């Protein structure tokens, strides 16, 4: 029996000709990632274990993004720990205020991750990098510490589910609607410790921003990782960007999958995940009686250029509904700058929105948009658990930038209609 894309990457990094689902392996790492919340814990474990150097200063990435610019003294101390560690070990991929970004938007943009990589990150949404044909997965801070020191990590090789995508996505939908639809179909544990592998003509028709969004939320279905097959879109994205030569792994024709799920992208509709799980999905058109208090467009899921463009196209020349707070957060400084240069920043402000420096901020209930009791927010973020964005009696509805921006104009959850 052949191997899946994920299994081939893991076999190569373990120095093995073949691996099978359920096999325990030790694999070489191309990138070890941490952020301002998880890295301080990893640093403590690193020191407790007696490590005194990182395995490769160019293969460790530390991104300050969750509470940066620092929101309080504790956040400042955490960032200080990261800065001191990065400086003392000459970590080349250290991103702080001024060249910051939300980690899972920043690393692909900067070419730090590439096709064929084996990546761990002390953040659950590290699965994002499967969009460029890498194996990437979230780990705990202790595993991050060991990875920084040794350049190795152990894995149980995952089995896989193949998602065969066909058709063309409607213009009022995006990758967010695709992944929300899938999670609604299979549930938040429907791919538990499995690889979600996206293939087919429909997959090839998706933009890189769509793919990054879809892989980002693989963890919300319980997956070990999400991954797209490498094609011309991938290679065009990586060309002139990737720090290392991409390595392409294709699934064998006789690769074993636990199941194959066929999805016609043409049937996707604007979709919203209602509180308090990403699997509680309904068409946006069925929710137009739900009044909202806040809109957040950003995060590691939907803070990329196409997301900003969707928001601009809907908000430009219009005003957000009275009493609605609209917060727009570009994913990186490069994206923010491009929004400024294109005049979108001004359009957002004129519409009545505020624009933030790149930060995770409200997504995890950190800052920049905390909800009070009984408030409702429609957000392009990735989780809507109880208390995720503030008070335990608040509610978060997950949606695409199209749906979130359209809702900002009405004050109610609103399906964005396709332009004829």
Q: What is the tens place of the pLDDT at every residue in 75-85? A: 999 999 999 99
- The alpha carbon of residue 358 and the mean position of all alpha carbons in its chain are separated, in whole angstroms, by 14
Q: Where are the alpha helices (DSSP H) in 19-67?
A: 38-48
* CATH of the domain spanning 273-410: 3.30.499.10
Residues of the chain with pLDDT under 50: none
**Residues contacting 243, CB < 8 A, separation 6+:** 111, 112, 114
**What per-residue confidence (pLDDT) applies to 108?**
97
**What per-residue confidence (pLDDT) applies to 1?**
79
Single pTM value for the model: 0.95
* CA atoms lying within 13 Å on the CB side of residue 145: 18
Q: At what angle do helices 208-216 and 305-315 cross, to 10 degrees?
A: 110
Nearest to 126 by CA among 212, 198, 45: 212
**What per-residue confidence (pLDDT) applies to 419?**
63
**What per-residue confidence (pLDDT) applies to 164?**
97
Q: What is the tens place of the pLDDT at every residue in 145-197? A: 999 999 999 999 999 999 999 999 999 999 999 999 999 999 999 999 999 99
Nearest to 95 by CA among 60, 140, 126: 60
Residue ranges with strand state E in 265-415: 271-273, 281-283, 294-297, 325-328, 354-355, 376-379, 395-398
* CATH topology (fold) of 5-265: Aconitase; domain 3 (3.30.499)
**What per-residue confidence (pLDDT) applies to 259?**
95
**What per-residue confidence (pLDDT) applies to 376?**
98
Strand partners, 328: 297, 355
Q: Which residue ranges does the chain devote to CATH 3.30.499.10?
A: 5-265, 273-410
- Rounded Cα distance, 170 and 311, in Å: 17
Q: Which two tokens stand for residue 336?
A: 């923010």
């Amino acid at each position: 029996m052949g191997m899946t894309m994920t299994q081939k990457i893991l076999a190569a990094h373990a120095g093995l000709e073949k691996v099978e689902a359920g096999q325990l392996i030790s694999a070489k790492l191309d990138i070890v990632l941490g952020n301002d919340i998880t890295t301080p814990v990893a640093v403590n474990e690193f020191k407790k274990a007696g490590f005194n150097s990182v395995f490769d200063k160019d293969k460790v990435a530390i991104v300050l993004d969750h509470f940066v610019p620092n929101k309080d003294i504790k956040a400042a101390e955490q960032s200080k720990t990261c800065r001191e560690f990065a400086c003392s070990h000459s970590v080349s991929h250290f991103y702080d205020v001024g060249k910051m970004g939300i980690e899972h938007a920043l690393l692909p943009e900067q070419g730090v991750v590439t096709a064929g990589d084996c990546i761990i990150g002390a953040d659950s949404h590290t699965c994002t990098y499967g969009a460029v044909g890498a194996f990437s997965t979230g780990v705990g801070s202790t595993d991050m510490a060991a990875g920084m020191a040794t350049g190795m990590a152990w894995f149980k090789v995952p089995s896989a589910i193949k998602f065969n995508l066909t058709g063309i996505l409607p213009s009022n939908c995006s990758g967010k609607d695709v992944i929300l639809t899938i999670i609604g179909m299979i549930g938040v544990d429907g791919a538990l410790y499995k690889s979600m592998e996206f293939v087919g003509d429909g997959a090839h028709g998706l933009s890189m921003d769509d793919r990054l969004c879809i892989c980002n939320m693989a963890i919300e279905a319980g997956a070990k990782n999400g991954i797209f097959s490498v094609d011309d879109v991938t290679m065009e994205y990586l060309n002139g960007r990737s720090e290392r030569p991409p390595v392409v792994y294709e699934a064998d024709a006789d690769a074993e999958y636990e199941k194959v799920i066929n999805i016609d992208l043409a049937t996707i509709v604007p979709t919203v995940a209602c509180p308090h799980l990403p699997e509680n999905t309904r068409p946006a058109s069925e929710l137009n009686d739900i009044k909202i208090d806040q809109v957040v467009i950003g995060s590691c899921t939907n803070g990329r250029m196409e997301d900003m463009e969707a928001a601009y196209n809907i908000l430009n020349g219009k005003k957000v509904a009275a009493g609605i707070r609209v917060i727009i957060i570009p994913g990186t400084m490069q994206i923010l700058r491009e929004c400024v240069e294109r005049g979108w920043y001004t359009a957002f402000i004129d519409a009545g929105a505020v624009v933030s420096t790149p930060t995770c901020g409200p997504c995890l209930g950190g800052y920049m948009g905390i909800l009070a009791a009984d408030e409702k927010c429609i957000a392009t973020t990735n989780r809507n658990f109880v208390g995720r964005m503030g008070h335990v009696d608040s509610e978060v509805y997950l949606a695409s930038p199209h749906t979130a921006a359209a809702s900002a104009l009405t004050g109610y959850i609103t399906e964005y209609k396709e332009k004829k």
